[in-house]
Structure 1
Amino acid sequence: MMRQFTNQQDLVHAGISYYTTCCLNLKSLYDNRIELKTMFISKEWEDNMWSKNEAGRRFYNLVVSNEFWDGVLYAINSFEPVVDVLRRMGCGRSSMGNIYGELANVKREIAFRFENKEEHYLPVWYHIDCIKDEHMKTPLHLAGYYLNPLFYYQNGNEIEKTEIFRDALLECAHKMYPDQSVQERIVHQLKLYRTASQSFGRARATLMNFDPVSWWELHGSTAKELSTMALRILRLTCGSLAYEQSWIEMVHKKKPSLVQCNKFEESTFVMVNRRIQEKAQMKDRSCTCIPSQ
């Protein structure tokens, strides 16, 4: 009956991860809300045995309720921009220099979807900030954000007012280059990057045409040491496996008394690579499954 009213469309879709699947199914429900309402008020539904029992009446009250669909739309507007970032991470399309800035863009997108009404978007922002503060206030994430020219030259004044970004960059330089003379050259070259001097000034016009790695490869010649460090950081990739812990918990729970350290590491290695292989096989389908709005 549902397919009859939805032109043979299936409401359930499978994504590359749990959170993608949830988002796809919420969108599928919302996109077919008119068809579902039509089904539940139709003669076919009235004559069906399911309309007479408690479960059928409960679903009828749910589907015809405007409050329910308002809640679904609220969940989609809160959830979809975040899922889009996690989806790109799962597809291997997000680097260390992108993720921090992309989450900042996600917050702006969510506020826009809620027409900048704080009572709607601030609770969502709070949860994003909690995750961001817990997992992404690390030297590599912060330095990657600082060294991403697309974000830096858009938000340079705000970034410079926040000392944690500059401190993270200096910490990365200290750990990556023990030679103090190299560290001093990096600090000196940062001035060229901040003020868009020499080749950096000409490079600002090409920001939209290159990804951060290609940008530094083409325009970092006047700051050799800084460019080398930027490329090492920006070439690091981000993944979403940290948010999918159920598979690793299975290794612990299956035979906890027998899993020794070496065996556990070997099992983890096999399972991680199997997950990566599965994600690669589903990549094309997942990367096109959520249409842009």
Structure 2
Amino acid sequence: MGFLYGELLKAKREIKEAFGNVESRFKDVMAVIEKKMNGRLDSPLHLTAFLLNPHYSYANPSIFDEPKMNEAFISCVEQFYYHDEDQQEQVANFELKKIQNREGPFSKKLARTFQNYDYNPAASWWRLYGTETPALQKMATRILSLTSSSSGCERNWSGFEGIHTKKRNRLTTTRLNKLVYIQFNNRLMNNREKIKVKENH
């Protein structure tokens, strides 16, 4: 998760360079990439992972000044520490400044060398150097430990295959979506019930 948005930006830069930085040549390619990214790979979570990844933030400290990044970060803080305004204030108004200004453990030479290595586990870096910013450390390690996966889609596709059969091939898309939604949530509820039964025995 921590490298996805950054690598997309890098790929876009390299595509522009491959087309000689002539906008008329790369414009159509960029339009396709932007269309695929918008609303999917540029969510507040992706942007916050990019911001909190020291591989990028140490290499380019100006990302802390980008309004888009700040909005995404605040959105994630509000979501992560939902109904805990003290923690929200701590993270957004105090702890973020420590990494931004390279204070405490963030100023160490070893902390700064992280930007030189590709694909180091950023969550481990936060566990090691984020000790003076515990609320931000907790949030960063959780976000940067997330993996990008298609397993949720795979589960839905198998659900679609089970419902949309040769006998039931005239289902409308809306009805099919509703049936898969019901089936998926029914499984979740059944699993939750099984867990409750096990806990009670």
Q: Partner of 1:57 in structure 2?
A: none
Q: Partner of 2:2 in structure 1?
A: 97
CA distance in 2, matches of 1:242, 1:104: 25
Q: Is contact 2:55–2:114 with CA below 8 Å preserved after alignment?
A: no
Q: Map 1:89-128 to 2 at 5 A.
A: 96-128=1-33
Structure 1: where are the runs of 5+ without partners?
1-95, 270-293
Alpha-carbon distance change, 266 to 219 in structure 1, aligned in 2, over 3 angstroms = same
Equivalenced residue count is 173
CA distance in 2, matches of 1:228, 1:124: 38
TM-score normalised by the chain length of structure 1: 0.51
Helix, strand or coil at the partner of 2:3: helix
Please report the RMSD computed on the Cα atoms of aligned residues, expressed in angstroms.
Answer: 3.1
Deviations 1:64-112 (A, max 9, x none): xxxxxxxxxxxxxxxxxxxxxxxxxxxxxxxx22111111011112223
Match of 1:215 among 106, 125, 135: 125
Q: Partner of 1:149 in structure 2?
A: 54
Deviations 1:139-181 (A, max 9, x none): 2112111111111223331x23431211221222222223222
Give the superposition deviation at 1:250: 3.8
Give the superposition deviation at 1:137: 3.0
Give the superposition deviation at 1:195: 1.4
Instruction: Please tell me whether residue 264 in structure 1 is matched to residue 183 in structure 2.
Output: yes
Q: Partner of 2:164 in structure 1?
A: 253
Q: Map 1:140-219 to 2 at 5 A.
A: 140-157=45-62, 159-177=63-81, 178-187=83-92, 188-202=94-108, 203-209=111-117, 210-219=120-129
Alpha-carbon distance change, 211 to 117 in structure 1, aligned in 2, over 3 angstroms = same
TM-score normalised by the chain length of structure 2: 0.72
Matched residues, percent identical? 29
